[in-house]
Amino acid sequence: MFQPGLKGVVAVQTAIASVDGDLGELRYRGERIETVVRDKSFEETAYFLWFGQWPNAQQLTHLSKQLLSYRKLPTHIVEITKLLPKEISLMDAMRTLISAYPDTNFLTLSSQQQAIALTAALPVMTAAFYRFQHELEAVEPRDDLGHTANYLWMISRQQPSPVQTEALDTYLKLTMEHGMNASTFAARVTISTESDLVSAITSALGTMKGPLHGGAPSGVIDLLDTIKTEDRIVPVIEEKLNRGEKIMGFGHRIYRTEDPRSIILREKCLDLHGEDPWLDLAVAAEAVITDKLNERKPGRALYTNVEFYAAAIMRSIAMPTELFTPTFSSARIVGWTAHALEQQEHNVIFRPQSEYIKT
C-alpha cells in the first residue's frame, strides 16, 4: 500500500530507541529519557547508545581517552577547512569535511572506533570552520575539558561556566537519538548498501541540512527577542494570535502530549532559575502561551516542543544562530552511528517499491 513519505510504515526493528507520541515517551535502549539523562554525562550516554550498557569506571575512562585523541584533526582536514569558501553554510562545510575525513589511520579502525572518532571530530570541525568564516584564529582543543565544555571553548575561546556546560550537555543528551527520523533513515539506507560509515554520516548531514528536519529554532529566538521582558509576554502573544500567526516552539508532528525532552529542558531551566534571564523568560513565557493557546484553540493540545527550550538554552549560552543545527548534528551523530552499526549487524539493503502513475 502506498504511503506518502512512508508515513506509518515500519522499515526497521531496532533496540536503540523508541518514540511513543501518544504517551509522550522517549526511551533510549528501553530506559525512559528522564532516567537516562539524570546524572549522566555526554560520554556515558553515548556509550550507552553505542554498546547497550552503561560504562563502568574503566570503560568510561577508556572512552574519554579515545574521544580526546580524536579531537586532533588530520592535517589534510585542517587544510581543506581553509580552502572552503567562507560563504557556504556550516552544514555544507561539515558535510564536506566529514566526507574527506578518512586517512590511513582511520581506515584501520573498527566500525565502533570509527563511530567514536567521528563523534569526537565533528564538533571540532564545526568550531574550526565557524571561526574561519569569521576570520578568527583557530582554537586548539583542551584535554582538561569534557566533550561539551570543549565544544564551547573551541567556539568562543572562553572558559564555559558550569551553568553553560550543564545546560548544553542536557540538550545534547536529549537530542542524540529520536527513532527513525529522516537523517537516521538516510544513514541506515546508505550503510545498507555495504558502504562505509563516513558515507552514512555524510548522507545524514545532507538530510539534516533540510529545513523540514534540522531547521534551527530561530523562530523561537525571534519570539523571545520580541518579548524581551516578562511584562510584555501577554501583549506580544495576544497580538500574534489576533493576527493568526503561528507561535513558534509549540506543537510536534509525533508527540500528541508534551514532548518529554521539552519537560526535561524546562526542569533544567527551573533548576537554573536566577542564573540566566533568558531561561527565566522562557519558563514564564511558556506558562502564559500555553494558557492563551488553550483559550483560543481548545482541544488542540498544543504543548511546547524541544525547540522552544533548546532556543532558550542556546540563547542563554550566547550560541550564534548559525551554530544551532550544527550543534544538533554534533549530538545526533551518536544516534546516526549507533543505527549504522546496528544496520551492519543484521543488514538487508533497503529497496522499497515504487508505483507507476500515468501522467
Would you state the pLDDT for residue 253?
Answer: 62
**Integer Rg of the chain from CA:** 21
Q: Which of 138-142, 188-192, 266-270 has the lowest mean pLDDT?
A: 266-270
Q: Name the grid cell of 59.
A: 570503560
Would you state the pLDDT for residue 232?
Answer: 95
Place of cell 526497521: 12
Place of cell 572552503: 84
Domains of the chain: 17-209+321-345 (1.10.580.10), 218-316 (1.10.230.10)
Each residue's pLDDT tens digit, 252-283? 666 567 788 888 888 887 777 777 788 889 88
The single-letter code of the amino acid at 92 is D
Q: Is 339 marked active-site?
A: no
DSSP per-residue letters across 101-150 = ---HHHHTS-HHHHHHHHHHHHHHHHHHHHHHHTT-------TTS-HHHH
Instruction: List the catalytic residue out of 147, 166, 178, 252.
Output: 252
Question: Which residues, including other chains, have CB under 8 Å from residue 155's CB and lie 6 or more apart?
Answer: 127, 130, 131, 139, 319, 323
- The rounded distance, in Å, linking the Cα atoms of 208 and 89 is 13
Mean pLDDT of the chain: 91
Per-residue confidence band for 192, with pLDDT thresholds at 50, 70 and 90:
very high
Per-residue confidence band for 306, with pLDDT thresholds at 50, 70 and 90:
confident
**pTM recorded for the entire structure:** 0.91
Instruction: List the catalytic residue out of 43, 44, 177, 307.
Output: 307
Listed residue (215, 214, 212) closest to 204, CA to CA: 214
229-241 per-residue burial string, b: 16 or more CB within 10 A, e: under 16: eeeebeebbeebb
Q: Name the grid cell of 68.
A: 580526546
Per-residue confidence band for 215, with pLDDT thresholds at 50, 70 and 90:
low
Ranges of beta strands (E only) in the chain are 17-20, 25-28, 31-32
Residue range 203-215: mean pLDDT, rounded: 88
Q: Is 252 marked active-site?
A: yes
Each residue's pLDDT tens digit, 20-43? 878 889 999 999 999 888 889 999
Q: Name the grid cell of 241.
A: 494570535
Interhelix angle 147-156/111-133, rounded to 10 degrees, is 20
